[in-house]
Amino acid sequence: MPKNIALPRRGRALLAPAAAALALVVALGTASAAPANAAPAAPQAKPVAAAPAGTDPGPAGDAFYTPPSPLPAGKPGDVIRARPAKAGPPAARALADAWQVMYLSTNALGKPVAVTGMVLVPKNGDPAKAPVVGFGPGTSGPAFRCAPSRFVDQGAFYEQSAINEMLQAGYAVAETDYEGYHENPTTTYVVNSMGYDLIDAVRAAQRLPEAGLSPDAPVAFRGYSQGGAAAMWAGQKQPGYAPELKLTGVVGGGVPSDLAAVGAPLEGAKPFGFLLYSMVGMDNAYPELKLASYANDAGKAMLADFQDNVCTLELLLGYQGKTVPDYFTSSPYANEDWLARVAENTLGADPIKAPVFQYHSTADEIVAFGQAKELRDNYCRLGVQETWKTWDKISHITLVYRGNQDAMAFLADRFAGKPATSNC
């Protein structure tokens, strides 16, 4: 940290956390004052009947993404609206039918929220027999135009190859955008509620009548970088939040679990924009943090730019070599409110009850290898059936694609009912 930002030791450690998650997002672009294991309870709203055939398509165009106010009554995973969409480029459209969806979920404060995403169902085979993979995308960026479901529909999603491989294997895919993609976006990047977003994307896929999926289908969570963290959070939260899901496995690559250990190198580094985005994400999740109150003139301009223009490429290229004092009069992480909230967002306090495949490059320049290994060790101590694999001499971004084959093999074995072999 620069000398003119004096943080307590704990503050310096936690500054990295926010940065970390954003750093992981960079790689992909080419991801209450209670402890992390104390998940907020699901909203106790009255259930609503399943939507009849012909789900409400919602308003046309971008207005589809604007949540209704007030939110409808229902429970997490209920579909608010859905409309047909493209499954990606022409090759993907030949593989699957697709819908953009809006569904109920739970935010970081335990309150109901509307989240958008995408449901993709293979055209070949019986959808009622298809396994369902909840897919957490890598970072897309803070602006509304960056929503992953929009990129899929436009044929511009950088993880399309992973989606296509799952569709070719006969798996339905429930992709979450994460919370906050709408006009005047309020994305909550790096916040642990992305686990709820991912779980409820699967529930929404199973409850969308047009998709024809079974509520008893085997389920897995999968993602890389930010998506890998989302998959792990979903795995940790699933037993208490969604015990009805038939969870068979969790796949997470390049996972930023200890955000402090990941984020420390971002100060003054090329991926610094992701540290800024992590601050914005935390501020959107926890209103008491008041990030704008710390901003100088450059910081105010940055916050406005994030709101309107910035996706992953801009995060990577537009803020290289910058530091916290370039945008803020003092570090938010010197404030105990910030420290308490950041402390909630560290993985590894709770076990995942399903088998886990975690992978990482020892040469990862975005998401530190050591903290990923520590997560693996924590899971092993908690009795998780963990399969751990490392790569040498390849970058974080390269492993986005290099890891697909092993991820697919793990999913195939879990959906086939084969026992997992832990290498703890």
Overall average pLDDT of the 223-242 stretch: 97
The pair of structure tokens assigned to 86 is: 């493209």
Q: How far apart are CA 421 and CA 424, in angstroms?
A: 9
Please report the DSSP string for 53-120 in residue order: SS----SSGGGGGSPPSSPPS--TT-EEEEEEE--SSHHHHTTEEEEEEEEEEE-TTS-EEEEEEEEE
| pLDDT (tens digit per residue) in 30-61 | 332 333 333 334 433 333 333 344 689 999 99
Reported as a pLDDT band with limits 50, 70 and 90, residue 2 is very low
| pLDDT (tens digit per residue) in 191-212 | 999 999 999 999 999 999 999 9
pLDDT at 12 over 70: no
Q: How far apart are CA 241 and CA 217, in angstroms?
A: 17
Question: What pTM value is reported for the model?
Answer: 0.87
pLDDT at 164 over 80: yes
Q: pLDDT value at position 138?
A: 93
User: Which of 343, 424, 328 is CA-nearest to residue 379?
Assistant: 424
Give yes or no for a contact between 128 and 212, defined as CB atoms under 8 angstroms apart: yes
Give yes or no for a contact between 241 and 282, defined as CB atoms under 8 angstroms apart: no
What fold is seen in the domain 1-424?
A: Rossmann fold (3.40.50)
Q: pLDDT value at position 224?
A: 97
Give yes or no for a contact between 55 and 79, defined as CB atoms under 8 angstroms apart: yes
Reported as a pLDDT band with limits 50, 70 and 90, residue 78 is very high
Query: What count of residues does the chain have?
Result: 424
Report the Cα 223 to chain-centroid distance in Å.
8
Which residue shows structure tokens 């994460």?
Answer: 178
Give yes or no for a contact between 326 and 318, defined as CB atoms under 8 angstroms apart: no
Q: pLDDT value at position 54?
A: 64
Q: pLDDT value at position 343?
A: 87
Q: pLDDT value at position 393?
A: 94
Give yes or no for a contact between 31 and 22, defined as CB atoms under 8 angstroms apart: yes
The phi, psi pair for 84, rounded to 5°, reads: -60, 145
Overall average pLDDT of the 112-116 stretch: 98
pLDDT at 338 over 50: yes
Overall average pLDDT of the 143-147 stretch: 97
Reported as a pLDDT band with limits 50, 70 and 90, residue 181 is very high
Q: How far apart are CA 271 and CA 319, in angstroms?
A: 7
User: Which of 181, 60, 28, 30 is CA-nearest to residue 118?
Assistant: 181
Q: What is the mean pLDDT of the chain?
A: 88
pLDDT at 68 over 50: yes
Higher per-residue pLDDT: 116 or 40: 116
Q: Is 61 exposed, middle or buried (0-12, 13-18, 19+ CB in 10 A)?
A: exposed
How many helices, marked H, and strands, marked E, lie in the chain? 14, 9
| pLDDT (tens digit per residue) in 316-337 | 899 999 999 999 999 998 899 9
Q: How far apart are CA 185 and CA 69, in angstroms?
A: 16
pLDDT at 17 over 50: no
Q: pLDDT value at position 7?
A: 32
The pair of structure tokens assigned to 203 is: 């529930």
Q: How far apart are CA 131 and CA 170, in angstroms?
A: 8
